[in-house]
Amino acid sequence: MLEDLARLLPTIEAGALDEAAVYRRERAGERADARRRRPGAQLCPICGTSAARFLPFGLFGRPNARCPGCGSVERHRFLWLWLARNTRALSGRLSILHTAPEPCLAARLRPLHGRRYVTVDRFDPAADLRADLAALPLPDGRFDLVISSHTLEHVADDRGAMAEMARVLRPGGTALLMFPYDPRRPTREDPAIDTPAARMAAYGHPWHLRIYGTDVVDRMRAAGLEPTLVDSRRVLSGHRRRRHRINANHLFACRRVVG
Ligand SMILES: [Zn+2]
């Protein structure tokens, strides 16, 4: 996706390509690199691919990042290991709502959970539901788990989206939320930053509307979600982070509270 964005940036900044068009292209075109590679020191916990090095990824070609088997990058592998350790998502059957579903995760989760696994996306024609996160066409308390990774920073009404995720979770259910997060600062956002070029300069991405900071927990609590911040460096040993190639990363494990 981001390699594509780097190439397309001049067109995006000229206003000739919008978010929906780019994300449709990504969803339609994303596929794993099928080339055969020799096993090595890196191991993808999602698809089991072993490689001497992973592929470069991102606007600046971050080295050793993307799994050649499933296309996962560091944050997907962190999310996966957290799911494996802390939920029954990989060992039992749960009702799961997955927003803007990453193909590397969806390919594993759907066979495990069947029709209890539901995907939602604003743009992706392959998603089970085409909907805005702030207005989910789903009943209250339907899901055990919501997975939403690198989605909320694209949503104007992110407070409404969090409230909707809480609403569709059963009491005690879990929302696993990831987004660009700076643990040293408050959230940076400004409605006046409203062009792809300005957002690129402010947030490092043409369609991100903010970089979350420490106050994000207040938004979660207001939505009925009680967050626990999980830092990859605190929960994974150095060996595991090197083996699975996981960088300094954060996720929020939020419990649905009622009342
Ligand atoms: Zn993989």
Domain 73-256 CATH assignment equals 2.70.70.10 = no
Query: What's the 72 CA to ligand 1 centre distance in angstroms?
Result: 5
At 25 the pLDDT is 53
Mean pLDDT estimate for the chain = 90
**Amino acid 30: pLDDT:** 45
Q: Please give the distance, rounded to the nearest whole angstrom, from the Cα atom of residue 93 to the centre of ligand 1.
A: 22
Confidence of residue 31 (pLDDT cuts 50, 70, 90): very low
Contacts by 22-27, CB closer than 8 A, 24 or more apart: 23/121, 23/122, 23/123, 23/124, 24/123, 24/124, 24/125, 26/1, 27/103, 27/121, 27/123, 27/124, 27/125, 27/126
pLDDT, tens digit, 9 for 90 and up, residues 157-188 = 999 999 999 999 999 999 999 999 999 999 99
**pLDDT interval class at 39 (50, 70, 90):** confident
Per-residue pLDDT band for 58 (boundaries 50, 70, 90) equals: confident
Instruction: Give mean pLDDT, residues 239-251.
Output: 97
Query: If you measure from the C-alpha of residue 163 to the centroid of ligand 1, how many angstroms do you get, rounded to a whole number?
Result: 32
Q: Hey, which residues does 43 pair with through a beta bridge? A: 50
Please state the rounded mean pLDDT for residues 71-75.
97
Backbone angles phi, psi at 43, to 5 degrees: -135, 125
Task: Report the separation in Å between the CA atom of 43 and the middle of ligand 1, taken as the mean of its atom positions.
Answer: 8
Distance between Cα 190 and ligand 1 center (Å): 36
DSSP for 43-81, written as a single string = E-TTT--EESS-EEETTTTEEEEE-TTT---HHHHHHHH
pLDDT band at 6 (very low <50, low <70, confident <90, very high): low
pLDDT for 60 equals: 80
Could you tell me the distance, in angstroms and rounded to a whole number, from the CA of residue 184 to the centre of ligand 1? 31
The C-alpha torsion from 233 through 235 and 239 to 245, rounded to 10°, is: -60
**Domain segments of the chain as ranges:** 73-256
Q: In angstroms, what is the span from residue 105 Cα to ligand 1's centroid? A: 9
CA of 60 to the centre of ligand 1 (A): 21
Q: What is the pLDDT of residues 201-217, one digit of tens each?
A: 999 999 999 999 999 99
- Give the span between the Cα atoms of 146 and 144, in whole angstroms: 7
Mean per-residue pLDDT, 137-164: 97
Q: Output the CA 221–ligand 1 centroid distance in Å.
A: 34
Q: Does the pLDDT of residue 117 top 80, yes or no? A: yes
Distance between Cα 238 and ligand 1 center (Å) = 20
Tell me the pTM.
0.88
Tokens 């067109």 sit at which residue?
11
Between residues 25 and 52, the one the model is more confident about: 52
Mean pLDDT in residue range 34-39: 61
CA of 254 to the centre of ligand 1 (A): 26
- The label of the residue with tokens 């995760």 reads 105
Task: Write out pLDDT tens, residues 42-55.
Answer: 999 999 999 999 99
Cα–ligand 1 centroid distance for 207 (angstroms): 26
Cα 252 to middle of ligand 1, angstroms = 23
